Amino acid sequence: MGEPTAREAGLGVGAVARRLGVAASTLRTWDRRYGIGPSGRSPGGHRRYTPADLARLEVMRRLILAGAPPGEAARTALGVPPGEPAPPRAHGAGGHRLPLTGTGAPAERDGERTARVRGLARAVMAMDEGAMSAAVRSALRRDGVVRAWDGLLVPVLVGIGRKHAATGGCVEMEHLLSEVVLRCLAEVPARRPPDGRAALLACAPDEQHSLPVHALAAALAEAGAPAVALGARVPAGALYAAIDRVGPHAVFVWSQTGATGDPAWLADLPRTRPPLRALAGGPGWARPRLPRTVGFVTTLAEAVAELTATSH
């Protein structure tokens, strides 16, 4: 095999960045910190990425999207055995100026959880729909809906919300992540065919943030409790009509933002026999003004517990 020829050793950092969907500055950092960079030279003596360099970087990118810390991903991509540092760069510029990450890690389970959150966050930033779906699906299968929601999805959603608040950007990522999460939640299998009276789940009028409602529907399906989810922006009159039609044992309404959190209309929920259990959840509600007949739940697990307790 030997050294690559000048013709093979063709790609500059910009071209590699475009191919991999990773910023050129990140590629330079990986090279400097982890020793994973270009090994070829152009005829003019400029450093160039060879096909083998590109393949190693592709492995590194995949591992990072799957949740590996960059230092560990680089060592794996370079074929360095665990515990050994990456080899120093042959060329002059760079070398290991910064220590490798991944030392002094917290307890393994916390470390794994953090790595998964980071992996999904990176996939979101790269808008890599395949990696996002794989991460969300495997968390739902491995941990069940409640743990996957609290341990992975909420931290990533809150993180991206913070980034949006700080920069005004990332809205496209919020949309893509929401689509992926909705799709994956819809795939969660019901433990048994719906039996008995359902819970009715809805967002408050004009409330577009429907993910928690769908997470609750999936968690109830997993718990074997029937539910009918109406999703985003349900007008008060439509919810009243749905209560009449479905005859649910309970109704749950989500408000994410203050703009949708005026609870006055909840006082007019239809009276049913036996009486309906009404629950509200979400940070949007003006809680002191919730009618006394409406309970409040603060977590997904609590909502599941309340709605499964009254379903039979």
Is residue 161 involved in binding ligand B12 (CB under 6 A)?
Answer: yes
For residues 244 and 262, the answer to whether their CB atoms sit within 8 Å is no
Q: What is the 3-state secondary structure (H, E, C) of 75-123?
A: HHHHCCCCCCCCCCCCCCCCCCCCCCCCCCCCCHHHHHHHHHHHHHHHH
Query: Which of 13, 117, 211, 266: binder of ligand B12 (CB under 6 A)?
Result: 211
Is residue 171 involved in binding ligand B12 (CB under 6 A)?
Answer: yes
Query: Which of 25, 169, 192, 208: binder of ligand B12 (CB under 6 A)?
Result: 208
For residue 122 the two structure tokens come to: 């990176």
Is residue 223 involved in binding ligand B12 (CB under 6 A)?
Answer: no
Instruction: Tell me the window of 2-10, 61-69, 90-98, 293-301 that interacts with ligand B12 (CB under 6 A).
Output: 293-301
Is residue 178 involved in binding ligand B12 (CB under 6 A)?
Answer: yes
Q: How are the residues of the chain apportioned to helix, strand and coil, as percentages rounded to the nearest 5? A: 50, 10, 40
Is residue 308 involved in binding ligand B12 (CB under 6 A)?
Answer: no
Counting Cα atoms < 13 Å in the Cβ hemisphere of 302 gives 9
Shortest CB 300 distance to ligand B12, Å: 4
Query: Which of 227, 300, 307, 311: binder of ligand B12 (CB under 6 A)?
Result: 300
96 phi, psi to nearest 5 deg: -90, 90
Q: What residues pair up with 278 in beta bridges, in sequence order?
A: 251, 294
- Binding residues vs ligand B12 (CB under 6 A): 154, 157-158, 160-161, 164-165, 171, 174-175, 178, 207-212, 215-216, 232, 256-258, 281-283, 297-300, 303
